[in-house]
Amino acid sequence: MDSLWILVMTTAVFLAAIILYRNNSRLRGLRSFHTSPVTLPLGSLGLPFIGETIEFITCAYSDRPETFMNKRRRMYGKVFKSHIFGSPTIVSTDAEVSKVILQSDAKVFVPSYPKSLTELMGKSSILLINGSLQKRIHGLVGAFFKSPLLKAQITRDMQKYVLESMANWSSDRPIYIQDETKNIAFQVLVKALINLDPGEEMESLKKQFQEFIAGLMSLPINFPGTRLYRSLQAKKKMVKLVKKIIQHRKNSEISKVPSDVIDVLLNDSSGQLTEDLIADNMIDMMIPGEDSVPVLLTLAVKYLSDCPAALQHLMEENMKLKRLKEQLGEPLCWSDYFSLPFTQTVITETLRMGNVIVGVMRKAMRDVEIKGHLIPKGWCAFAYFRSVHLDESNYDWPYEFNPWRWQEKDTSNCNFTPFGGGQRLCPGLDLARLEASIFLHHFVTQFRWVAEEDTIVNFPTVRMKSRMPIWVKRTGDP
C-alpha cells in the first residue's frame, strides 16, 4: 500500500538519527560499489555520511523540487546513483525502469522506510509485511473498495458529509479548503473502514489520530516525553477503540454482506488475520484520509481558481447533470459522477501536476539489472514519479494545468503513476476519484468563489502554505 508510505517517506530529514540507524548498511553498500564487476549508473555519492541529502532537501522546499533530479538527469541520464536519506540509492526518472521496480515482488525489492515509521506502523502493518499475507490483505481491501455496494454507500456518505460541511460556509469569512476537505475525507474513510459515525468517538479518534500522525516526522527515539513516544501512546488508544468494535462484531453475527473493511477482514477464512493485525491496519489505512485525498481536493480548487476556462467547462458539465437528475427526480449515484468526462480529466490533471505521491523507495534484496542498469543488493531504488509527470518529452507544456490534454491521452501507460503500481498499488484509487468527483460537483454547482493568494508547499508532504483560503458566494445569492 504505497500511498501510506509515499506521503511520509520524504519526512526523514533528521540526518543524525538516520546516519546512526543506517551506518552499517551504508558501509556494506559502499563496499559492494567498489568491488562489484558490473558498472553502476553514473552519478555521485556526495559527501561522506551525508551524501546528497542536503541538496535534495533544499530543492524539495522550493517550488520546483524536481530540480535535484532534473539536474542529475541532464548530467548522467534518466537513471543515476546518489546517496540520500542515509543510503546509497539508484534514482529512476525513467518510466519503464520505475515500472519494473513497482511490479517486482518481495524476492527482488521490499519497501524501505525510516525507523520512526516502522515503529509506529508495527510489524503487522500492510506497509511492512510481504508475500502471501500482504497480497491477501491488499486483495481483500482492494476488492471491497471497488465493489458496487461500497461505492453506493460511499456516495451517500460523501454527499452527506459534503453537504453538511458546505451548509456552514458563509460569505462573511474565508473558507479554508484544506481544513474542510480533511474533515470530510477523514469522516468518509473512517466510515468505510470501521463504520463509525460522527460523534464523540469520532472526535476522540480524530484527536488521537492527529497525535499519532505527527510522529511520522519524528526522530526514532522512543522514551517518555519524545514525539515518537506520544504518537505510539496515541496509536494504542486508537487500537483499543478499534478492538472494542471488533469484539462487538464477534459477539454478534458477522454480516455476510460487509458494510466496512473490518467486516471484510473478519469474514476471511484463512485464519491469518488476527485481531491485532486487523486493528493495527485500520489505523494505518486512515492516513490517506488525512493527506492524499484532502490534498487532491485542495489542489483541484487551486488549479481551477487559476484556470477560468477549465472552471467554466467543469461548471457547465456538472450543472447539466444536476438539472437532468432534478428533472428525473433521481438522486445522484456513483456512476453519474464517473459519467462526467471533463470532471475526470480535471482530477487526472490535478494528480499529474500535484504529485501528491512523489515516488516510492525500495530496497534491493539481490543484485538487480533493469534495462542495463545495476541496482546492487542492499541499495535503495527510488522511483521518482514527479520527474516523469513533469517531463516535457511526455507532456507538452508540463507545468500548465491543461485538463483537455487527457481527452486524447491514455491514463494507463507507465508515464502516469499517481497511485504507485504493482502489488502495492493504492487499493483506494477508485475511492479517491469518486470522492473528488462528488466534492467538485457540489462545489461548482453551489458556489462561485475568489481564492486568496496561496502557494503549494512540497516538503515534507504536499500542502497549501495558508490552507487555501477562499471567499464564497452561493449561486442563488444576489
441 inside domain: yes
Given 284, 302, 325, the domain boundary residue is 284
Residues 72 and 163 in one domain: no
**Distance, CA of 379 to CA of 83 (rounded, Å):** 10
* Residue ranges in the chain modelled with pLDDT below 70: 1-38, 254, 477-478
**Distance, CA of 221 to CA of 59 (rounded, Å):** 27
Residues 112 and 220 in one domain: no
163 inside domain: yes
Instruction: Report yes or no: 212 and 231 within 8 Å, Cβ to Cβ.
Output: yes
409 inside domain: no
How confident is the model at residue 476, as a pLDDT? 76
**CA–CA–CA angle 364, 365, 369 (5° rounding):** 55
Grid coordinates of 212: 499519532
Q: Which single residue is written with the C-alpha cell 462487538? A: 248
Residues 244 and 162 in one domain: yes
Residues 12 and 80 in one domain: yes
The model's pTM is 0.90
228 inside domain: yes
Q: Is the sign of the CA dihedral 296, 70, 370, 112 positive or negative?
A: negative
> In the beta sheet, which residues pair with residue 364?
109
**Distance, CA of 159 to CA of 439 (rounded, Å):** 8
Question: How many C-beta atoms lie closer than 10 Å to residue 35's C-beta?
Answer: 8
Contacts of 432 (CB under 8 A, 6+ apart): 288, 292, 293, 296, 419, 426
Residues 160 and 219 in one domain: yes
Output the domain CATH number for residue 40: 3.30.43.20
**Distance, CA of 133 to CA of 271 (rounded, Å):** 11
Name the helix (H) or strand (E) containing 474.
strand 469-474
> Beta 447-451 vs 469-474: how paired, if at all?
antiparallel
Structural domain total, the chain? 3
Instruction: Report yes or no: 258 and 144 within 8 Å, Cβ to Cβ.
Output: yes
DSSP state of 43: B
**Distance, CA of 359 to CA of 96 (rounded, Å):** 14
> Beta 175-176 vs 109-111: how paired, if at all?
unpaired
How confident is the model at residue 28, as a pLDDT? 41
**Distance, CA of 297 to CA of 433 (rounded, Å):** 10
**Distance, CA of 60 to CA of 43 (rounded, Å):** 19
Question: Helix, strand or coil for residue 100?
Answer: helix
42 inside domain: yes
Name the helix (H) or strand (E) containing 297.
helix 292-305
Grid coordinates of 309: 476556462
Given 255, 284, 313, the domain boundary residue is 284
Instruction: Report yes or no: 438 and 453 within 8 Å, Cβ to Cβ.
Output: no
How confident is the model at residue 477, as a pLDDT? 67
407 inside domain: no
Question: Helix, strand or coil for residue 97?
Answer: helix
Residues 276 and 296 in one domain: no
Residues 409-426: tens digit of each pLDDT: 888 889 999 999 888 888
**Distance, CA of 253 to CA of 249 (rounded, Å):** 7
How confident is the model at residue 125, as a pLDDT? 86
417 inside domain: no
Domain of residue 64 covers: 2-120+355-399
Residues 205 and 241 in one domain: yes
Residues 22 and 100 in one domain: yes
Helix orientation angle between 275-284 and 227-251, rounded to the nearest 10 degrees: 120
Name the helix (H) or strand (E) containing 445.
helix 429-446
Best CA proximity match to 359, nearest among 320, 319, 333, 386:
386
Output the domain CATH number for residue 240: 1.10.630.10
Residues 107 and 139 in one domain: no
Best CA proximity match to 295, nearest among 357, 213, 340, 215:
357
Residues 264 and 170 in one domain: yes
Residues 193 and 310 in one domain: no
**Distance, CA of 91 to CA of 83 (rounded, Å):** 9
How confident is the model at residue 253, as a pLDDT? 76
Residues 248 and 174 in one domain: yes
> In the beta sheet, which residues pair with residue 448?
473
Given 239, 258, 284, the domain boundary residue is 284
What's the distance, CA 180 to chain centroid? 18
405 inside domain: no
Instruction: Report yes or no: 335 and 344 within 8 Å, Cβ to Cβ.
Output: no
How confident is the model at residue 116, as a pLDDT? 76
